[in-house]
Structure 1
């Protein structure tokens, strides 16, 4: 969906994504990489800082850096890009407002009518690839209803942290109640992320239905839905009163057929049932097993603990038609972080996914599969942990062993590293040098303490302060990242 952004917004997003990858970079380097003039990039920095709120693009003699406060993350950057985008502002406006003229919309969005017309023309050209278009007289979104739903579901998922704020009083609560009732009748409980996803889908679909737009070709998908909720007359009346539409079987099928369809599996037994009558599902199951085997062979790990993962992959791959993201691809961000810290293992997994699922044309699906493998496969997690670089930490104080032991216990509350206490083994300077040969981070209470064989020396107070703990963790991270960069290919 980033293609829907204006050229300026696309350029600024590229700039920000480069800053996400680089801790600090000069404007000349950014210009060389991106092809945009330094003057344009300098103007972009001023403009980006005007809408990035607490996030800042910091400039200085050493270059440009992205400063993200502790209560925020990369995800917020993408949300703010969406929020300030005129193109997406228009799409959101058309979702919530009917029978508006171009004059009304231009005034609401604080743009000229000529700008509005150009924007609609450009958007229609881009949206046509998804069989979506902005109709006029009055202005409205029309076209492939399934793709329209995916567009708004992805958009709302990234724009709004609290979905309740975009609905009228009472509508959120009763729709959540409906989702919970349908999930219960389907035999499963909703966790918070699932509830949010289903709520956004049902909200978008219900709003579109109220505007007269219906999905096509879904009728048979919900034939196994449980309509027990329709027996609750009090709830049905309340739903009709709040949403001004009758809760019927047809409405339930259109709202929930994607999430409660019969192909959704909850067990290996469910997979076996599908395989009996479907060549596609037999092939899918075979390829999932193949993926487990080739990854396990390459990394020398077990496949005995892949049962739950098998079920998750089966659902994710067969339902790849469900909405994914607007700008912020969680799986991509995860994959890039994992690849940066575990390049050798990540490369192997990525290659095996591409080999087994060669028909997958979009890299987003590969990101989703890799995410599941890495986070849901215990043996693989164990392998990753074993292959992670080890940082050795030691402590040497000019007091006594008991003091060193107490300080070590305090530090362990902040760091997972084992700490070697050196006080009791060192009597001469040569002993210290020998003891430090395998130590990456040395903690001491001696100011300006000089050692030649230790990369990081952190001086702490007699009773460590919060700044001391912070300095220790930063030193640990520097060593860890350096070892990742220097690590041999697996």
Structure 2
């Protein structure tokens, strides 16, 4: 379950039960009660009670099996979707009911909501504190008379988009209707026949259609400043008049009458949130928001900064174009609201964990570059994550020539097992060698162009110009992950510059 929805669950027991199911579903072997308790930071007694309660609420063909002196194992039939099981338990959260009500324009007092949910008004007020904290991230507030989300209409739409889009696999989540999808399909077809550039993800665009059309239906309209530079630029585009006519006509065909020009502008600008960065984007090698001097600045900026990364051989001008197009899209979206820069918590965590070196370089670049200190660039961490993903698609994975040598001590079964794991976890472009009965020397390492020396025992003397990794007797998942990141996320030269001085002092053994 994603963090946004998990944080909206206030009941502590409910949260623990979801965590237990998530833990057990990711394990192929039984987990000891102590292990589960440690993961949840609760007592063994509390965990045992949660496991007992879960047995009563799990569906048929899904059960937690207690194995004497071994632990607990979650077993389920192939027909059971564990994500839906978790979501079914989570839908008991009162805040989910309230958010769905607000999306459907159900406006009533806190007292009325408390009566409907069969809880005290005092308890509901306590629950709503969680909701208020989440809304702060979107620059929104919660009024209590009546209970309603207040703030910029663009930010309200962004909140609902994050809430529904990132819960798209949950059975209780609202998803785009056939009508929402038909609107998107009709606009796509009309744009293509009119030769208006369209490079969008249909599913993501359908969620935006759902949010926008719902808000229009209930009379909540976007108001854009006339002096908004992006709005002015959009209105100057050669295809704008035709695009406006198409959108207005199709919305009228679907019974959305009197749609304002501000809404049409919002649809056209927010569409950049669903842009697909593929080779087809090169067919439209034009930027339509930035002035010539800004494009020239960004060309020089990316030409300089991309040189830091191990970029694949190819057309650097095309790679620079993709990066400029990305910045232009977020520049345009940020003039609707800086909230468009926000990623999900899970996306940021995944990229920062798996590409730490590329991410750290981008966040450092953005924090030092005057251009990104302007008011609209409020969420540099999220921008750096997106740049990390974009840049990584153009970098040499494994750097092709990286050479890792394993010198490990253990029985023959262990050594064969490590060899198997290494080939499973390390990119195939990396050269891997194993030494079992050969003396290591400076000359041998140099002759064989070794970059990383992995060993689980002390090696003397230390060697120059090689990253020496002293891992645990049985290398941990963290150590394997570090090795993989080093070869995936750094050029050979940078890897040596960064880690050679810390050889044998990278891991705490």
Short-chain TM bin: 0.5 to 0.7
Give the whole-Å Cα distance in 2 for the aligned partners of 1:309 and 1:214: 38
In structure 2, which of residues 266, 284, 290 is the aligned counterpart of residue 274 of structure 1?
290
Relative to structure 2, which stretch is displaced further, 240-249 or 50-59?
Answer: 50-59
Residue matched to 1:314 = 324
Matched, 1:349 2:365: no
Give the conservation status (yes or no) of the 8 Å contact 1:57–1:64: yes
Give the whole-Å Cα distance in 1 for the aligned partners of 2:481 and 2:139: 45
Give the whole-Å Cα distance in 1 for the aligned partners of 2:399 and 2:41: 41
Give the whole-Å Cα distance in 1 for the aligned partners of 2:49 and 2:381: 33
In structure 2, which of residues 236, 241, 245 is the aligned counterpart of residue 227 of structure 1?
241
Give the conservation status (yes or no) of the 8 Å contact 2:33–2:47: yes
Residues 435-472 of structure 1 show CA distances to partners (whole Å, capped at 9, x for unaligned) of xx9xxxxxxxxxxxxxxxxxxxxxxxxxxxxxxxxxxx
Residue matched to 1:395 = none
Residue matched to 1:459 = none
- Bigger share in helix: 1
Relative to 1, partners in 2 of residues 1:257 and 1:47: Cα closer, same or farther, differing over 3 Å?
A: farther
SS in 2 for 1:159: coil
In structure 2, which of residues 265, 290, 303 is the aligned counterpart of residue 289 of structure 1?
303
In structure 1, which of residues 239, 242, 248 is the aligned counterpart of residue 251 of structure 2?
239
Give the whole-Å Cα distance in 1 for the aligned partners of 2:142 and 2:288: 45
Residue matched to 1:6 = 10
Kindly report the root-mean-square deviation, in angstroms, between the aligned alpha carbons of the 2 structures. Answer: 5.2
Matched, 1:28 2:57: no
Residue matched to 2:100 = 92
Relative to 1, partners in 2 of residues 1:231 and 1:215: Cα closer, same or farther, differing over 3 Å?
A: closer
Residue matched to 1:380 = 396
Give the whole-Å Cα distance in 2 for the aligned partners of 1:172 and 1:99: 27
Matched, 1:358 2:367: yes
| CA displacement at 1:173 relative to structure 2 | 1.6
Give the whole-Å Cα distance in 2 for the aligned partners of 1:74 and 1:307: 46
| CA displacement at 1:126 relative to structure 2 | 4.8
Residue matched to 2:182 = 173
Residue matched to 1:369 = 387
Give the whole-Å Cα distance in 1 for the aligned partners of 2:195 and 2:19: 43
TM-score by length of 2: 0.57
Give the whole-Å Cα distance in 1 for the aligned partners of 2:318 and 2:89: 37
Residues 8-67 of structure 1 show CA distances to partners (whole Å, capped at 9, x for unaligned) of 266566667766887765442444455322333344445667479988776644445677
SS in 1 for 2:367: coil
Matched, 1:259 2:291: no
TM-score by length of 1: 0.59
Structure 2 counterparts to residues 404-443 of structure 1, below 5 A: none
Give the conservation status (yes or no) of the 8 Å contact 2:191–2:198: no
Relative to 1, partners in 2 of residues 1:128 and 1:189: Cα closer, same or farther, differing over 3 Å?
A: closer
Aligned length: 385
| CA displacement at 1:293 relative to structure 2 | 1.4
Residue matched to 2:450 = none
SS in 1 for 2:142: strand
Residue matched to 1:304 = 314
Give the whole-Å Cα distance in 1 for the aligned partners of 2:82 and 2:297: 38
In structure 1, which of residues 40, 51, 54 is the aligned counterpart of residue 46 of structure 2?
40
Residue matched to 1:132 = 140
